[in-house]
Amino acid sequence: MSIDRLREMIRESQNIVFFGGAGVSTESKIPDFRSETGLYTTSKNTQYPPEYMLSYSCFLKDTEDFYEFYKKKMIYQEAKPNAAHIVLADLEKAGKLRAVITQNIDGLHQMAGSVNVLELHGSIHRNYCTKCNKFFPLKYILDSPSIPECDQCGGIVKPDVVLYEEGLNMYTLDRAVEYIERADMLIVGGTSLRVYPAAGLIEYYRGNKLVLINKSETPYDSRAALSFNESIGELLKKAT
Ligand code: ZN
Protein backbone atom coordinates (compact mmCIF):
# COMPACT_ATOMS: atom_id res chain seq x y z
CA MET A 1 0.00 0.00 0.00
CA SER A 2 1.14 3.52 -0.68
CA ILE A 3 0.94 4.45 3.00
CA ASP A 4 3.52 1.75 3.69
CA ARG A 5 5.72 3.15 0.95
CA LEU A 6 5.37 6.62 2.48
CA ARG A 7 6.38 5.26 5.89
CA GLU A 8 9.39 3.59 4.30
CA MET A 9 10.42 6.74 2.46
CA ILE A 10 10.27 8.79 5.65
CA ARG A 11 12.28 6.15 7.45
CA GLU A 12 15.04 6.10 4.85
CA SER A 13 15.24 9.91 4.39
CA GLN A 14 17.56 12.19 6.31
CA ASN A 15 16.90 15.52 4.64
CA ILE A 16 13.16 15.92 4.39
CA VAL A 17 11.67 19.27 3.46
CA PHE A 18 8.00 20.00 3.86
CA PHE A 19 6.25 22.61 1.76
CA GLY A 20 2.75 23.48 2.89
CA GLY A 21 -0.19 25.57 1.81
CA ALA A 22 -3.53 26.64 3.24
CA GLY A 23 -4.75 23.05 3.55
CA VAL A 24 -2.39 22.52 6.47
CA SER A 25 -4.13 25.26 8.43
CA THR A 26 -7.71 24.40 7.46
CA GLU A 27 -7.34 21.27 9.58
CA SER A 28 -6.87 23.70 12.48
CA LYS A 29 -10.11 25.40 11.40
CA ILE A 30 -8.47 28.39 9.76
CA PRO A 31 -10.42 28.99 6.55
CA ASP A 32 -8.69 28.70 3.21
CA PHE A 33 -8.82 31.83 1.12
CA ARG A 34 -10.61 30.29 -1.83
CA SER A 35 -12.35 27.17 -0.59
CA GLU A 36 -16.13 26.76 -0.20
CA THR A 37 -16.15 28.06 3.36
CA GLY A 38 -13.16 30.28 2.75
CA LEU A 39 -12.61 33.93 3.12
CA TYR A 40 -13.39 34.80 -0.45
CA THR A 41 -16.81 33.14 -0.37
CA THR A 42 -17.82 34.37 3.07
CA SER A 43 -16.87 37.98 2.46
CA LYS A 44 -18.67 38.54 -0.80
CA ASN A 45 -21.14 40.86 0.91
CA THR A 46 -18.57 43.36 1.99
CA GLN A 47 -18.16 46.47 -0.11
CA TYR A 48 -14.78 45.52 -1.53
CA PRO A 49 -13.31 42.16 -2.46
CA PRO A 50 -10.82 40.61 -0.03
CA GLU A 51 -8.07 41.18 -2.60
CA TYR A 52 -8.52 44.89 -2.00
CA MET A 53 -9.07 44.64 1.75
CA LEU A 54 -5.79 42.77 2.07
CA SER A 55 -3.85 44.94 -0.36
CA TYR A 56 -1.06 47.37 0.32
CA SER A 57 -3.20 50.16 -1.18
CA CYS A 58 -5.93 49.46 1.34
CA PHE A 59 -3.38 49.43 4.15
CA LEU A 60 -2.14 52.85 3.03
CA LYS A 61 -5.42 54.52 2.10
CA ASP A 62 -8.07 52.86 4.23
CA THR A 63 -5.97 51.76 7.17
CA GLU A 64 -8.86 51.57 9.61
CA ASP A 65 -10.91 49.33 7.27
CA PHE A 66 -7.84 47.26 6.53
CA TYR A 67 -7.32 46.54 10.20
CA GLU A 68 -10.97 45.84 10.85
CA PHE A 69 -10.98 43.24 8.06
CA TYR A 70 -7.56 41.89 8.94
CA LYS A 71 -8.39 41.33 12.62
CA LYS A 72 -11.72 39.73 11.80
CA LYS A 73 -10.66 37.51 8.90
CA MET A 74 -6.97 36.75 9.20
CA ILE A 75 -6.44 36.16 12.90
CA TYR A 76 -7.69 33.01 14.60
CA GLN A 77 -6.40 33.23 18.12
CA GLU A 78 -8.02 30.02 19.29
CA ALA A 79 -6.44 27.92 16.48
CA LYS A 80 -4.23 25.10 17.71
CA PRO A 81 -1.67 22.99 15.81
CA ASN A 82 -3.12 19.83 14.27
CA ALA A 83 -1.61 16.40 13.71
CA ALA A 84 0.30 17.59 10.62
CA HIS A 85 2.06 20.38 12.53
CA ILE A 86 2.92 18.00 15.37
CA VAL A 87 4.29 15.20 13.16
CA LEU A 88 6.48 17.70 11.27
CA ALA A 89 7.84 19.16 14.51
CA ASP A 90 8.63 15.63 15.72
CA LEU A 91 10.43 14.80 12.45
CA GLU A 92 12.58 17.90 12.87
CA LYS A 93 13.42 16.94 16.47
CA ALA A 94 14.36 13.46 15.24
CA GLY A 95 16.88 15.09 12.87
CA LYS A 96 15.09 13.93 9.72
CA LEU A 97 13.34 17.09 8.61
CA ARG A 98 15.41 20.17 7.79
CA ALA A 99 12.83 22.84 7.03
CA VAL A 100 9.17 23.63 6.87
CA ILE A 101 8.34 26.06 4.09
CA THR A 102 4.87 27.50 4.51
CA GLN A 103 2.50 29.85 2.80
CA ASN A 104 0.53 30.24 6.02
CA ILE A 105 0.90 33.20 8.34
CA ASP A 106 -0.60 31.76 11.51
CA GLY A 107 2.56 30.57 13.30
CA LEU A 108 1.06 27.13 14.05
CA HIS A 109 4.22 25.25 13.01
CA GLN A 110 6.23 27.13 15.64
CA MET A 111 3.46 26.60 18.17
CA ALA A 112 3.80 22.86 17.53
CA GLY A 113 7.55 23.06 18.13
CA SER A 114 9.05 23.45 14.66
CA VAL A 115 12.14 25.64 14.69
CA ASN A 116 13.28 26.09 11.09
CA VAL A 117 10.16 27.53 9.48
CA LEU A 118 10.37 29.61 6.30
CA GLU A 119 7.27 31.76 6.08
CA LEU A 120 6.88 32.84 2.46
CA HIS A 121 3.95 35.11 3.25
CA GLY A 122 5.18 36.40 6.60
CA SER A 123 3.50 36.05 9.98
CA ILE A 124 0.72 37.69 11.98
CA HIS A 125 3.02 37.36 14.98
CA ARG A 126 5.52 39.91 13.68
CA ASN A 127 4.54 43.52 13.29
CA TYR A 128 6.76 46.54 12.70
CA CYS A 129 6.43 50.29 12.95
CA THR A 130 6.52 51.72 9.44
CA LYS A 131 8.58 54.68 10.69
CA CYS A 132 11.09 53.41 13.24
CA ASN A 133 10.82 49.65 12.63
CA LYS A 134 10.08 48.80 16.27
CA PHE A 135 8.78 45.24 16.69
CA PHE A 136 5.35 44.50 18.11
CA PRO A 137 3.72 41.15 18.94
CA LEU A 138 0.26 40.17 17.75
CA LYS A 139 -1.25 41.18 21.09
CA TYR A 140 -0.34 44.80 20.45
CA ILE A 141 -2.36 44.77 17.23
CA LEU A 142 -5.32 43.10 18.88
CA ASP A 143 -5.26 45.46 21.85
CA SER A 144 -5.19 48.58 19.67
CA PRO A 145 -8.65 50.12 19.33
CA SER A 146 -8.48 50.71 15.56
CA ILE A 147 -5.18 51.57 13.89
CA PRO A 148 -2.15 50.31 15.84
CA GLU A 149 0.32 53.12 16.38
CA CYS A 150 3.89 52.81 17.57
CA ASP A 151 4.26 53.64 21.28
CA GLN A 152 7.71 55.05 20.55
CA CYS A 153 7.23 57.36 17.56
CA GLY A 154 3.52 57.30 16.68
CA GLY A 155 4.09 55.64 13.31
CA ILE A 156 1.58 53.15 11.96
CA VAL A 157 2.38 49.54 12.71
CA LYS A 158 2.20 47.08 9.80
CA PRO A 159 1.92 43.31 10.04
CA ASP A 160 4.90 41.48 8.52
CA VAL A 161 2.46 39.75 6.18
CA VAL A 162 2.80 39.84 2.40
CA LEU A 163 -0.19 41.82 1.21
CA TYR A 164 -1.59 41.93 -2.29
CA GLU A 165 0.63 44.15 -4.45
CA GLU A 166 3.63 43.29 -2.29
CA GLY A 167 6.41 40.98 -3.39
CA LEU A 168 7.57 37.94 -1.49
CA ASN A 169 10.58 38.26 0.76
CA MET A 170 13.39 37.30 -1.64
CA TYR A 171 15.72 36.17 1.12
CA THR A 172 13.13 33.68 2.39
CA LEU A 173 12.33 32.54 -1.13
CA ASP A 174 16.03 31.95 -1.90
CA ARG A 175 16.45 29.91 1.27
CA ALA A 176 13.37 27.87 0.39
CA VAL A 177 14.87 27.09 -3.02
CA GLU A 178 18.15 26.01 -1.39
CA TYR A 179 16.42 23.64 1.01
CA ILE A 180 14.32 22.13 -1.77
CA GLU A 181 17.36 21.66 -4.03
CA ARG A 182 19.20 19.77 -1.28
CA ALA A 183 16.25 17.72 0.00
CA ASP A 184 16.28 13.94 -0.37
CA MET A 185 12.51 13.89 0.18
CA LEU A 186 10.02 16.64 -0.51
CA ILE A 187 6.56 16.44 1.00
CA VAL A 188 4.10 18.97 -0.37
CA GLY A 189 0.84 19.32 1.49
CA GLY A 190 -2.34 21.33 1.48
CA THR A 191 -1.75 23.23 -1.73
CA SER A 192 -3.35 22.78 -5.13
CA LEU A 193 -0.02 23.86 -6.69
CA ARG A 194 -1.83 26.12 -9.10
CA VAL A 195 -0.62 29.47 -7.76
CA TYR A 196 2.78 31.13 -7.73
CA PRO A 197 5.16 30.52 -6.04
CA ALA A 198 4.09 27.02 -5.04
CA ALA A 199 4.17 25.48 -8.48
CA GLY A 200 7.53 27.03 -9.33
CA LEU A 201 9.21 25.98 -6.11
CA ILE A 202 8.78 22.26 -6.52
CA GLU A 203 10.57 22.48 -9.87
CA TYR A 204 13.79 22.86 -7.86
CA TYR A 205 13.48 19.43 -6.33
CA ARG A 206 15.95 16.95 -7.85
CA GLY A 207 15.21 13.77 -5.90
CA ASN A 208 12.84 10.91 -6.58
CA LYS A 209 10.79 11.11 -3.40
CA LEU A 210 8.24 13.80 -4.13
CA VAL A 211 5.07 13.20 -2.12
CA LEU A 212 1.92 15.25 -2.68
CA ILE A 213 -0.88 15.36 -0.14
CA ASN A 214 -3.90 17.46 -0.98
CA LYS A 215 -7.64 17.01 -0.61
CA SER A 216 -8.14 17.51 -4.34
CA GLU A 217 -5.93 16.53 -7.27
CA THR A 218 -3.02 18.72 -8.34
CA PRO A 219 -1.41 19.16 -11.77
CA TYR A 220 1.73 17.49 -10.39
CA ASP A 221 0.16 14.29 -9.07
CA SER A 222 1.46 12.22 -12.01
CA ARG A 223 5.01 13.45 -11.42
CA ALA A 224 5.04 12.52 -7.77
CA ALA A 225 6.41 9.27 -6.40
CA LEU A 226 3.27 9.17 -4.25
CA SER A 227 0.16 11.30 -4.17
CA PHE A 228 -2.67 11.23 -1.68
CA ASN A 229 -6.00 13.00 -1.80
CA GLU A 230 -6.86 13.03 1.87
CA SER A 231 -6.38 14.74 5.20
CA ILE A 232 -2.74 15.60 5.65
CA GLY A 233 -2.78 15.38 9.45
CA GLU A 234 -4.24 11.89 9.60
CA LEU A 235 -2.05 10.63 6.78
CA LEU A 236 1.19 11.89 8.33
CA LYS A 237 0.19 10.47 11.70
CA LYS A 238 -0.38 7.06 10.12
CA ALA A 239 2.90 7.23 8.23
CA THR A 240 5.18 8.05 11.16
ZN1 ZN B 1 7.87 53.74 15.63
pTM for this prediction:
0.93
Confidence (pLDDT) at 46: 58
Distance 124 CA to ligand 1 centre (A): 18
At residue 54 the predicted structure's pLDDT band, cuts being 50, 70 and 90, is very high
41-45, 109-113, 152-156: which range is least confident on average? Answer: 41-45
User: What are 114-124's pLDDT values in tens digits?
Assistant: 999 999 999 99
Confidence (pLDDT) at 198: 74
For 112-134, what is the mean pLDDT?
97
d(CA 208, CA 59): 43
Phi and psi torsions of 39, nearest 5°: -55, -45
Cβ atoms within 10 A of the Cβ of 20, count?
25
Give me the percent of the chain exceeding a pLDDT of 70: 94
Q: Which residue is catalytic, options 85, 109, 121, 125?
A: 121
User: What are 60-69's pLDDT values in tens digits?
Assistant: 999 999 999 9
For 185-210, what is the mean pLDDT?
90
* pLDDT at residue 176 is higher than 80: yes
User: What are 7-51's pLDDT values in tens digits?
Assistant: 999 999 999 999 999 999 999 999 886 555 556 555 555 578 888
Confidence (pLDDT) at 32: 80
Distance 228 CA to ligand 1 centre (A): 47
Distance 75 CA to ligand 1 centre (A): 23
For 136-152, what is the mean pLDDT?
96
Distance 106 CA to ligand 1 centre (A): 24
Domains of the chain: 1-30+80-121+168-240 (3.40.50.1220)
Active-site residue flag, 85: no
Q: Is 171 exposed, middle or buried (0-12, 13-18, 19+ CB in 10 A)?
A: exposed
**Spatial contact of 227 and 221, defined as CB atoms under 8 Å apart:** yes
d(CA 135, CA 155): 12
* pLDDT at residue 145 is higher than 70: yes
Confidence (pLDDT) at 38: 58
